[in-house]
Amino acid sequence: MRAQVGIIGAGPAGLFLAHLLHAAGIRVVVLEQRSRDYVEGRVRAGVLEQTTVRLMHRLGLGARVSQEGLLHAGTTLCVDGDPFHVDFAELTDGGAVTVYGQSEVMKDLNLAADQRGIRILYDAAEVSPRALETDQPIITWKQDGVSRRLDCDFVVGCDGYHGVSRGCIPASVLETVERIYPFGWLGILSEVPPCNHELIYANHEHGFALASMRSPTRSRCYLQCSLSDSVEQWSDERFWDEFSLRLGTAFTPRITRGPSFEKSIAPLRSFVCKTMRWGRLFLAGDAAHIVPPTGAKGLNLAAADVAVLGDAFAAWYGAGDASGLEDYPRRALDRVWKAERFSWWLTQLTHRFPHMDTFDRHMQVAELSYLRQSRAAQAAFAENYVGLPLDF
Ligand code: FAD
Ligand code: DHB
């Protein structure tokens, strides 16, 4: 098989890139180890920045997100049960985010790929990129037990944090930076109306809580939990009790309890692979960087990476201009570090750290009090939350 660009991974990064390249007349093949149902069913991100929604419109994928996405022009922060509101629209000249589940984004990307004839090969086993330091890289894999091979000009690793691509970069050139957080997020989905029309980020002595949603009838709720916790230790009743406590009395009467139909624990990590290009291999999305989920930047960063990379490939194939490809790591990393900073900052501000002393807690409460009272502080928060423009 032959393609100009071989993409590993059919998550948001891989499929947004496939559409961008297809629109520029570049032949792509996407190889994904999981099934299509698995990728579309994975419960993950829920908040889209304006640049991500704009990218969907630019690619002709915006019909459903316009109709079904929930526009949020603000959010609530809550400190030991005492809430305050941040008005994104007023602080950022009309800025807002859109609540629209990652699984819906994946369905839109897949359906349009079917219609446009973009080749996505699911259930590809033992995917292995090779000869990346040459001008003729290849990807080998097994489909239904049969060995296959793709010859291409470039390989893009969009295969997430646990993928194979990053590991192909020799240790002597690979530069990574990481921070692990000493807690996790326990998340549930429940078919009950959200307790507020916008998201609530709560800092409580017991730890962080987040009230989010997927639709007017479906709640997505998170609690900071211990990394040693298992979902079996968290009955729905225990979850709702703790969630109500952390949100406080202003919201407790508005919480509708219901059975969860998804419950999982995710660790929190900040990670950047500074080597986003090696030879003919490029990395994009979670393959190159992870943010803690606080602030909802992961999917949006994946989309921003491939928007830059897509333009770079279009310039290379259209005009033989290599400058965009050469500049990709610098341009992408500039944005990545800003999102890393924001996600780290919001995590620090809202979570309970195991070794926090009285001074640390006072610093947290003072910073939240400053955010409550200062328009300048709120404007900085809002500007980052709705998403920095692509070339900030
Ligand atoms: P992935 O989505 O991980 O896709 C990588 C793909 O590569 C997968 O389909 C995988 O199966 C495939 N793959 C892996 N290895 C191989 C291989 N060897 N061969 C072939 N294929 C392979 N982000 C936000 O922006 N907003 C949010 O609100 C938000 N909330 C989140 C909540 C939770 C609980 C979690 C866990 C994440 C959240 N994120 C959020 C982060 C977001 O989901 C990720 O950043 C996003 O999925 C990254 O997209 P990606 O395409 O880079 O990687
Ligand atoms: C969601 C996840 C986040 O990390 C966040 O900051 C906001 C919302 C969500 O899954 O809905």
**Closest alpha carbon to 227 in 267, 187, 199:** 267
| Ligand nearest, relative to CA of residue 293 | 2
The residue type found at 359 is: F
Q: Which ligand 2 atom is nearest residue 214's CA?
A: 11
Any atom of ligand 2 within 6 Å of the Cβ of 47: yes
**Residue of 12, 137, 194, 293 marked catalytic:** 293
- How many angstroms is it from 100 CA to the middle of ligand 2? 10
Q: Is 193 a catalytic residue?
A: no
DSSP string, 326-374: HHHHHHHHHHHHHHHHHHHHHHHHHS--TT--HHHHHHHHHHHHHHHH-
* pLDDT over 70 (residue 60): yes
Share of the chain above pLDDT 70, in %: 100
Q: What pLDDT score does 389 carry? A: 86
Choose the residue to mutate in 210, 347, 350 for probing ligand 2, maximizing ligand atoms within 8 Å of C-beta: 210
Looking at residue 45, its pLDDT comes to 87
Strand order in the sheet with 218-225: 82-87, 74-79, 200-204, 207-215, 218-225, 176-190, 260-273, 289-290
392 pLDDT exceeds 70? Answer: no
Closest-CA residue, ligand 2 atom 9, reads 46
Q: What is the mean pLDDT of the chain?
A: 97
Confidence (pLDDT) at 369: 98
Nearest CA to ligand 2 atom 1: 46
Q: Which is higher by pLDDT, 260 or 392?
A: 260
Average pLDDT on 345-370 reads 96
Contact indicator for 42, 102 with CB cutoff of 8 Å: yes
Q: Is the separation of the CB atoms in 298 and 270 below 8 Å?
A: no
**pLDDT at residue number 137:** 98
Cα gap 349→360, rounded to integer Å? 10
pLDDT at 391 over 90: no
Strand 47-48 with 5-8, pairing: unpaired
Instruction: Determine how many CB atoms are found less than 10 A away from the CB of residue 179.
Output: 14
pLDDT at residue 185 tops 80:
yes
pLDDT at 130 over 70: yes
Q: Which ligand is nearest to the CA of 102?
A: 1
H or E element: which one contains 200? Answer: strand 200-204
For residue range 197-222, what is the model confidence (pLDDT) as tens digits? 999 999 999 999 999 999 999 999 99
SS (HEC) of 202-263? EEECCEEEEEEEEECCEEEEEEEECCCCCHHHCCHHHHHHHHHHHHCCCCHHHCCCCCEEEE
SS3 3: coil
For residues 121-136, average pLDDT: 98
317 is catalytic: no
pTM higher than 0.85 for the full model?
Answer: yes
38 tagged catalytic: no
How many percent of the chain have pLDDT more than 90?
98
The minimum-distance atom of ligand 2 relative to the CA of 185 is: 4
* Other Cβ atoms closer than 10 A to 149: 12
User: 43-52, 167-176, 372-381: lowest mean pLDDT where?
Assistant: 43-52
Residue 318 has, within 13 A of its CA and on its CB side, a CA count of: 14
Pocket test for ligand 1, best of 15, 35, 44, 294 (most atoms within 8 A of CB): 44
Active-site residue, 100 included: no
Residue 6's pLDDT band (cuts 50, 70, 90): very high
DSSP state of 292: -
302 has pLDDT over 80: yes
What separation in Å is there between the alpha carbon of 294 and the centre of ligand 2?
Answer: 7
Q: Note if 293 is an active site residue.
A: yes
What is residue 35's predicted lDDT score, i.e. its pLDDT? 98
Measure 83 CA to ligand 1 centroid, in angstroms. Answer: 32
List, for residues 326-347, the tens digit of each pLDDT value: 999 999 999 999 999 999 999 9
Q: E strand or H helix at 82, and its extent?
A: strand 82-87
